[in-house]
Chain A
Amino acid sequence: QSALTQPPSASGSPGQSVTMSCTRTNDDVDDYGYVSWYQQHPGKAPKLIIFEISKRPSGVPDRFSGSKSGNTASLTISGLQAEDEAHYHCSSYGGSSTVVFGGGTKLTVL
């Protein structure tokens, strides 16, 4: 079954840009086109911020953008703000009608 690997941590200063990766491994699923990203603040529910690799739901600032190259999807946050400090989780189709999540990246705004 497919797995998604995310770096455990990332950091950046206010105003800077930061990019987080999500790499698909053990790939027995052809389709990596449906990648989503979720933002989760401590003690809060996850919030959808990117779907289908690069689409933003209504209300999500355009500072958040997504992309994919090969087996690695990326989330970029530009113009970092203190409120962006959170965990970020990627997900994708896992094969056989399942969903797979990455382990999550904790973003620290310095």
Chain B
Amino acid sequence: EVQLLESGGGLVQPGGSLRVSCAASSFTFSRYAMSWVRQAPGKGLEWVSAISGTGGRTYYADSVRGRFTTSRDNSKNMLYLQMNRVSADDTAVYYCAKDRDHEFWSGYRPFDYWGLGTLVTVSS
């Protein structure tokens, strides 16, 4: 069974940095684009970023572009989200999600597996 397990969340001060990770297992990780999706407390889902299977291309929501960086290590089946210059608006549960079909990211295809998420709280 496909498993995605996020880690690295916690409390970070406004303006600070944090890196969250996602460990993937039971599928050929490099063959699928991956995304980060977040959910602020009591709010809906918000797509944050995506990365192609090779890691060669990345995509970002306007709300995080220039502050967040998504990367992956296919040798370790790991996905990362480096978060810089965070603000209270970045407080959310961060989920990693697997593209259903393809290594190339398009934005058209659904996410067929999600992790349980890791909570990031931005507060002084």
Name A residues whose Cβ lies closer than 8 Å to a Cβ of B.
1, 6, 31, 34, 36, 38, 44-48, 51-52, 57, 89, 91, 93-94, 97-104
A104 and B100: CB pair below 8 A? Answer: no
Contact B44 A100 (CB under 8 A): no
A-B contact pairs, 20 of them (CB 8 A): A36-B110, A44-B116, A45-B95, A45-B114, A46-B37, A47-B114, A48-B110, A51-B109, A57-B112, A89-B44, A93-B106, A93-B107, A93-B108, A94-B47, A94-B107, A98-B47, A99-B37, A100-B47, A101-B44, A103-B43
Closest A residue to B42 by CB, please name it. A104
A48, B111: Cβ atoms closer than 8 Å: yes
- The distance from the CB of A101 to the nearest CB of chain B, in whole angstroms, is 4
* Count of inter-chain pairs, beta carbons less than 8 A: 67
The one of A1, A34, A45, A103 in contact with B44, judged by C-beta atoms closer than 8 angstroms, is A103
Q: How many residues of chain B have a CB within 8 Å of chain A?
A: 26
Separation of A46 and B107 alpha carbons in the complex (Å): 17
Beta-carbon contacts of B33-64 to A below 8 Å, as 1s and 0s?
Answer: 00101000001111100100000000101100
Whether B109 pairs with A104 at a CB distance below 8 angstroms is no
The interface residues of chain A lying within 8 Å CB-to-CB of B105 are: 97
Chain B residue contacts of A89, Cβ below 8 A: 44-45
> Complex: how many Å from CA A1 to CA B47?
13
